[in-house]
């Protein structure tokens, strides 16, 4: 056997061995082991829970209740897990702006769906008295402070949250500082997410 034939057989044997090792390593996949576009077979995916979210997914973070109204807010959250102080205060500031503006211009239609019956009747009478005297309604200039000062849940599931507002009101000529406690209420068993203004008191 010539030397060239021996060299050819040796190279063929090496190539066959390398091919066999690649087949064992890669199996019958047509693409390279890294960087190929293929869809992996998904394994069982744990369901995230509020107590122990998995896979980086958070279903709902439990709010952190602090301050003098913490116990009341805890009770409200227990009856309605959608209650969250930050988003509540965002809505409460908006409600304050809307209600003060509507009262200032005597807009009963805008006020009625936002107020409890007793509050609406008292403010309706105040608007009537103001209209009779020809006085100008006060407009909101700015909210200086707004924070939850109290919260409670009664046996019927009625939630009440009191917000302490400090604001500046004006009629175009004079500016008045107001410090008031507005109590909003909502039935936690209701599908209606809206809160009504239930009471207004002057803060000490």
Element at 160 (helix H, strand E): strand 158-170
**Does a structural domain hold residue 117?**
yes
- When the pLDDT of each residue in the chain is averaged and rounded to a whole number, the result is 81
**Does a structural domain hold residue 23?**
no
**Does a structural domain hold residue 47?**
no
Lowest mean pLDDT among 94-98, 117-121, 173-177, 181-185: 173-177
Instruction: Give pTM, 2 decimals.
Output: 0.70
Higher pLDDT, 52 or 60: 60
**Does a structural domain hold residue 140?**
yes
The per-residue pLDDT for range 55-65, each reduced to its tens digit, is 555 555 778 89
- Residue 66 in tokens: 């602090």
Domain of 143, in residue numbers? 70-202
Percent of the chain with pLDDT strictly greater than 70: 70
CA–CA separation, 183 and 32 (whole Å): 67
**Does a structural domain hold residue 150?**
yes
The per-residue pLDDT for range 145-200, each reduced to its tens digit, is 999 999 999 999 999 999 999 999 998 889 999 999 999 999 999 999 999 999 99
**Does a structural domain hold residue 113?**
yes
**Does a structural domain hold residue 45?**
no
Q: Is the pLDDT of residue 124 over 80?
A: yes
Burial class (CB in 10 A: 0-12, 13-18, 19+), 124: middle
DSSP 201: E
Backbone φ, ψ for residue 33 (5° rounding): -70, -25
Q: What pLDDT, on the 0 to 100 scale, is given for residue 27?
A: 45
Q: What pLDDT, on the 0 to 100 scale, is given for residue 138?
A: 93
Q: What pLDDT, on the 0 to 100 scale, is given for residue 74?
A: 96
Give the CATH number of the domain where residue 181 resides: 3.10.450.240
Q: Is the pLDDT of residue 16 over 60?
A: no
Q: What pLDDT, on the 0 to 100 scale, is given for residue 55?
A: 55
Burial class (CB in 10 A: 0-12, 13-18, 19+), 73: buried
Q: Number of folded domains in the chain? A: 1
**Does a structural domain hold residue 190?**
yes
């Amino acid at each position: 056997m010539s030397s060239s034939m021996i060299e050819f057989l040796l190279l063929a044997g090496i190539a066959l061995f390398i091919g066999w090792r690649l087949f064992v390593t890669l199996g019958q996949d047509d693409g390279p082991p890294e960087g190929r576009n293929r869809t992996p077979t998904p394994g069982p995916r744990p369901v995230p829970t509020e107590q122990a979210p998995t896979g980086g997914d958070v279903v709902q973070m439990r709010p952190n209740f602090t301050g003098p109204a913490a116990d009341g807010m805890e009770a409200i959250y227990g009856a309605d897990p959608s209650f969250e102080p930050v988003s509540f205060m965002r809505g409460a500031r908006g409600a304050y702006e809307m209600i003060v503006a509507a009262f200032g211009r005597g807009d009963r239609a805008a006020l009625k769906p936002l107020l409890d019956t007793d509050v609406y009747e008292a403010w309706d009478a105040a608007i009537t008295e103001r209209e009779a005297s020809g006085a100008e309604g006060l407009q909101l200039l700015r909210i200086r402070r707004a924070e939850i000062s109290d919260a409670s849940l009664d046996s019927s599931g009625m939630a009440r949250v009191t917000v302490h507002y400090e604001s500046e009101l004006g009629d175009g000529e004079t500016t008045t500082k107001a410090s008031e406690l507005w109590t909003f209420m909502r039935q936690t068993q209701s599908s209606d997410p809206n809160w009504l203004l239930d009471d207004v008191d002057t803060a000490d």
